[in-house]
Amino acid sequence: MVTGLLIALIAIIAVVVIVPLLLLIWVFWEDEKQTQHSILRNFPILGRVRYFLEKAGPELRQYLFNNNTEGKPFNRLQMEYVYKAAKYKKRMIGYGSERDFENDGYYIVNDMFPKQREEMRIDQTPKIKTRLYKIENEKLFSRKEAMGDAEIDPYYLPDEDAVVLGKHTVRKPFVIKGLIGQSAMSYGALGDRAITALSLGLGMAGGTWMNTGEGSVSPYHLKGNVDLIMQISSGLYGVRTKSGEFSWEAFKEKSEIEQIKAFELKLAQGAKQRGGHVEAEKVTEEIAEIRNLEPHKTINSPNRFKEFSNAKEMLQFLDKMRDVGGKPVGTKIVIGNREQAEKYIQTMKETDIVPDFITIDGGEGGSGATYYELAASVGLPAFSALPMLDDLLREYGLRDRTHIIASGKLLTPDKIAMALALGADLVNIARGFMMSVGCIMAEVCHTNRCPTGVTTTDPHYQKALIVDEKKYRVCNYVIALREGLFEMAEVAGIDSPTKFSREHIVYNRAFREVARNDKSVLVNS
């Protein structure tokens, strides 16, 4: 009996003390003799703690150390807005805003006599059948909630206020009854489950659109009854020959797909002033077939189209696309400076060829994969570029012949209202919709190891994303945005968000403390 207890005690000591000690000695010896890491040579074992904390740093900052307004590219409050709007269709907060009102910033001008809801120009038919979560019991360490059927108002524009792309230029104009759509996200950058959930959810909401991204139209984009804008980049995916030339025959075939309502020539996007990039592990055989490429090879689109090398040639190419396809065609650009934008608009005036829409992406826009220097330092932000483009189009008498679609971190109604006031006619959102299908801003989109199954083609990770649940979140999110946008219009004293203009926005320069006559006073700088 005693012998048995003694043996057991020795075994426990060996497991708890001796084995870990031997392991630490071995790690110490391995760290000290290796030649790759200076820290580990000088501080064996302890250096590994540093690397662990460095690796876990983004998560620690996001959940523990950043306050509600500090996170980048989106802070906790912005992410929380999307999640609540998508799950519960709720936008309420309590106590007050956490915005730092001592900083410079844009504000919507409130009217002294705002509009009443019954004065607003809204089409609320037909109602949308969706599903919403309801919290039944929430405690510190637990939350019990259930998802139930719901019928909600759609917040469409009435027919007379609908935005029409290509009204006077093509055989089949694109009529839009909502001002908010999904920005370009390709199948390949996102997995098939994410694309399917977005397609179904946007189709349920109606009055919106889905930009396919440069990866062409996939079967998953077509799953829902949603209008599509097919993006065509310098890689020509979906409209190319095997050798990489533009195929007018393939383009004609795409234009005959009923769900495709318009085409967009992508010259650049905010996070990468270059062609798209997809790592080899994301390029499945299906994706390669859709894009007419070889599978399992990294994709890098050229920096620009080979089909044209200046604005005049591009506009002529665009005009031929309208003639062949019979549908609206626009361009996606990022503005570098006023001179560059003016040259483009001058060419429109000279050739009398004006795109049906101009998508202007701010330098703060996102991407599934890009390089640091391109994302951080190239292209003007959306709120700088928008009024510049709007003013130039008016100066050259072309504003009524095209529409501006803005994108760049516009995932809440207030930001959308500001974009409309600065000159946009419509708004694109990408990352907000990613959050609506589960994105937690892990920032590993380019690795094919997205923990929520959104930006991955790996079945192991994709299993986390349940399409039949996430499609409702997409629907709820876009309708919550439209509802919030109408409320912003009410406050501004206008009966439709289509009427936002420069008079409805103000840029407030922060009050600063200055010394005057030995007294501290506040002046508006």
Three state DSSP letters for 408-454: CCCCCHHHHHHHHHCCCCEEEECHHHHHHCCCCCCCCHHHCCCCCCC
| Domain count along the chain | 2
Q: Cβ(210)–Cβ(199) under 8 Å?
A: yes
Do 328 and 426 share a structural domain?
yes
The pLDDT, as a whole number, for residue 30 is: 78
Do 471 and 335 share a structural domain?
yes
Among 23-27, 239-243, 263-267, which range has the highest average pLDDT?
Answer: 263-267
Query: Which of 191, 356, 188, 339 is CA-nearest to residue 265?
Result: 356
pLDDT tens for each residue of 453-485 = 999 989 999 999 999 999 999 999 999 999 999
The pLDDT, as a whole number, for residue 515 is: 46
Among 243-252, 288-297, 484-493, which range has the highest average pLDDT?
Answer: 484-493
**42: pLDDT strictly greater than 50:** yes
- Of the pLDDT bands very low, low, confident and very high (cuts 50, 70, 90), residue 269 is confident
Do 395 and 326 share a structural domain?
yes
Query: Which of 272, 251, 275 is CA-nearest to residue 263?
Result: 251
Percent of the chain with pLDDT over 70: 94
The pLDDT, as a whole number, for residue 136 is: 85
Do 142 and 25 share a structural domain?
no
Residue 513 inside a domain? The answer is: no
- Amino acid identity, position 202: L
Using a 10 angstrom Cβ sphere, with 0-12 exposed, 13-18 middle and 19 or more buried, the burial of residue 266 is buried
**314: pLDDT strictly greater than 90:** yes
pTM to 2 decimal places: 0.90
Do 416 and 268 share a structural domain?
yes
Percent of the chain with pLDDT over 90: 62
- Of the pLDDT bands very low, low, confident and very high (cuts 50, 70, 90), residue 452 is very high
Please give the full DSSP string across 93-144, using - where no structure is assigned.
--S-----TTS-EEEEPPPSSPPPGGGS--B--SPEEEEEEEEEEE-SS-EE
- Of the pLDDT bands very low, low, confident and very high (cuts 50, 70, 90), residue 524 is very low
pLDDT tens for each residue of 334-379 = 999 999 999 999 999 999 999 999 999 987 877 777 776 777 677 8
- The CATH number of whichever domain residue 130 belongs to comes to 3.20.20.70
Residue 91 inside a domain? The answer is: no
Do 305 and 194 share a structural domain?
yes
Residue 453 inside a domain? The answer is: yes
- Of the pLDDT bands very low, low, confident and very high (cuts 50, 70, 90), residue 523 is very low
**What's the alpha-carbon Rg for the chain, to the nearest Å?**
27
The pLDDT, as a whole number, for residue 304 is: 85
Quick check: helix, strand or coil at residue 52? helix
The pLDDT, as a whole number, for residue 522 is: 43
Spatial separation of the C-alpha atoms in residues 504 and 162, rounded to whole Å = 21
Residue 479 inside a domain? The answer is: yes
In Å, how far are 80, 138, 189, 471 from 145, measured between CA atoms? 17, 8, 32, 18
383-405 mean pLDDT: 97
**516: pLDDT strictly greater than 80:** no
Do 121 and 22 share a structural domain?
no
Residue 107 inside a domain? The answer is: no
The pLDDT, as a whole number, for residue 521 is: 39
Give the domain-ending residue among 65, 80, 109.
Answer: 65
Least confident of 125-129, 296-300, 489-493: 296-300
Measured from the Cβ of residue 16, the count of other Cβ atoms closer than 10 Å reads 10
**Residue 278 domain boundaries:** 117-507
* Residue 235 DSSP label: T
The pLDDT, as a whole number, for residue 250 is: 95
Token output for 161: 């206020």
**270: pLDDT strictly greater than 90:** no
Do 122 and 51 share a structural domain?
no
How high is the mean pLDDT of the chain?
A: 89
Residue 514 inside a domain? The answer is: no
pLDDT tens for each residue of 139-188 = 888 888 999 999 999 999 999 999 999 999 999 999 999 999 999 999 98
φ/ψ of 319, rounded to 5, equals -65, -35
pLDDT higher at 393 or 23 = 393
Within 252-355, strands assigned E span 260-266, 277-278, 299-300, 329-333
Do 154 and 223 share a structural domain?
yes
490-498 mean pLDDT: 98
Do 470 and 337 share a structural domain?
yes
- Of the pLDDT bands very low, low, confident and very high (cuts 50, 70, 90), residue 276 is low
Residue 103 inside a domain? The answer is: no
- Of the pLDDT bands very low, low, confident and very high (cuts 50, 70, 90), residue 525 is very low
In Å, how far are 367, 462, 469, 471, 494 from 466, measured between CA atoms? 23, 9, 6, 9, 40
Q: Cβ(523)–Cβ(514) under 8 Å?
A: yes
Q: Cβ(331)–Cβ(265) under 8 Å?
A: yes
Q: Where do we find the tokens 């290509």?
A: 166
The pLDDT, as a whole number, for residue 118 is: 96
Do 402 and 257 share a structural domain?
yes
Do 135 and 43 share a structural domain?
no
pLDDT tens for each residue of 219-264 = 999 999 999 999 999 999 999 988 889 999 999 999 999 999 999 9
Residue 6 inside a domain? The answer is: yes
Token output for 9: 């005690």
Give the domain-ending residue among 27, 47, 65.
Answer: 65
Q: Cβ(178)–Cβ(482) under 8 Å?
A: yes
Helix %, strand %, coil % for the chain, to 5? 40, 20, 40
